[in-house]
Amino acid sequence: MNLYSAPTDYSLTKSIDFIYVGDSRAIRVRHPKANGVISLHGAHVLSYQPTGEEDLIWLSEDAKFDGKTAIRGGIPICWPWFADAASPAHGFARTSEWQLHAYQITQENALITLQLKDDQGTNPTWPHPFKARLLFEVGEELNVTLEIMNIGGHPWTFTGALHTYLNIGDIDTLSVTGLGQAFIDKLEDGTPQAEPATLSVASAIDRIYTEPKEEIVVHDPTFGRDIIIKNSGHNSAVVWNPWQEGAQAMADMPDDGYQNMLCVESAWYAPTIEEGQIVQPAKTYQLTTCLSSRPR
Ligand code: TA6
């Protein structure tokens, strides 16, 4: 899907416009430093393409854009819980309709801020007053920040993730450094494990790395680049690839889609929501991921 040739629905400035992606509206940024697209459905980043480069973000050709289903690929916002701590899986933020809150463009970057409030029909299983903002900053780097505010009178807890699907040349030639050695293996009943510091992926992987370094680097010789990931506000980095069988089982991923993607996520992980990050009344918490690339 070429998001950059989609017709403009409504222009905000010369370089920021609304487009339709299927049934959902998205905001498109065309900046001299990079292009980017974010959907209002889920505040879901669909693309980040530094000028002259392949997209850093993988988006499934078979993703559903019906304004209801979670989008396969991009950067899903998993919040206020990660994985299946409650239903729906990965929380309700990624299937909620967010509103444009603000936008700003400078020579260095464009910043789009989307907002979600608890009065918009959010999930009764997590009935806490909140305001969430997603800051999407497109320039030489991509900065994505999930900012959450407790606007109620009682503390509450959350888990979550910025579930980035990276666009890679070939999973077989890829390696990842900076994840640290300690991880919880979700494919081995959550058993804590340790392994050498460089990761190569040759089968399905679903791991929560609990001691990631400040900088995670995805080395991609096929695309001739390294992707650098700097996270903050997290306590772990999740790495996921469903491999061939997993891709075949998903209606919204091509059977060979697993070859060109790897999820490397900025996560606040805990086994239950109650054990998650606490946010006191009137306080704000930020979970961030920053992506950039350099030639190899
Ligand atoms: O972050 C990894 C993970 O939780 C996996 O266990 C896997 O199921 C993946 O996310 C995708 O989840 P989804 O609900 O989008 O199909």
For 216-229, write each residue's pLDDT tens digit: 999 999 999 999 99
C-beta neighbour count of 40 within 10 angstroms: 20
Global confidence as pTM:
0.97
Q: Please give the pLDDT value at position 191.
A: 83
Q: Give the residue, out of 164, 206, 209, 265, with the most ligand 1 atoms within 8 A of its beta carbon, to mutate for a pocket test.
A: 206
* Residue type at position 153: G
Span 53-98, pLDDT tens digits: 999 999 999 999 999 999 999 999 999 999 999 999 999 999 999 9
17 pLDDT more than 80? yes
pLDDT digits (tens, 9 = 90+) for 151-173: 999 999 999 999 999 999 999 99
Q: Is the pLDDT of residue 48 over 70?
A: yes
Task: Return the amino acid letter for 282.
Answer: A
Q: Are 140 and 34 in contact (CB under 8 A)?
A: yes
Which DSSP helix (H) or strand (E) runs through 220?
Answer: strand 215-220
Mutate to test the pocket of ligand 1, among 77, 186, 240, 266 (most ligand atoms within 8 A of CB): 240
> Cα separation of 118 and 115, whole Å?
10
pLDDT at 294: 97
Tell me the sheet residues that pair with 49.
35
Q: Is 53 a catalytic residue?
A: no
Distance 107 CA to ligand 1 centre (A): 37
Across 243-260, average pLDDT: 98
Q: Is the CB of residue 64 below 6 angstroms from any atom belonging to ligand 1?
A: no
99-139, pLDDT tens digit by residue?
Answer: 999 999 999 999 999 999 987 556 777 899 999 999 999 99
User: For 8, which DSSP code?
Assistant: P
Determine whether the shortest distance from the Cβ of 238 to ligand 1 is under 6 A.
yes
**Ligand 1 atom closest to residue 250's alpha carbon, by position in its atom list:** 16
Tally Cβ neighbours within 10 Å of residue 175.
13
Residues 184-205, mean pLDDT to the nearest whole number: 91
What CATH code is assigned to 3-295? 2.70.98.10
Q: In what order do the strands lie in the sheet with 99-105?
A: 99-105, 110-117, 130-138, 142-150, 284-295, 225-232, 215-220, 175-177
Confidence of residue 194 (pLDDT cuts 50, 70, 90): confident
For residue 118, the model assigns a pLDDT of 85
pLDDT, residue 120, reads 56
| Whole-number percent of the chain with pLDDT over 70 | 99
Q: Domain extents for the chain?
A: 3-295
| Distance (Å) of CA 148 to CA 104, 115, 156, 271 | 20, 10, 11, 20
Question: Looking at residue 246, what DSSP letter applies?
Answer: H
HSE toward the beta carbon, residue 67, CA cutoff 13 A: 9
Rg (CA), the chain: 18
Question: What pLDDT digit, counting tens, does each position of 232-249 carry?
Answer: 999 999 999 999 999 999
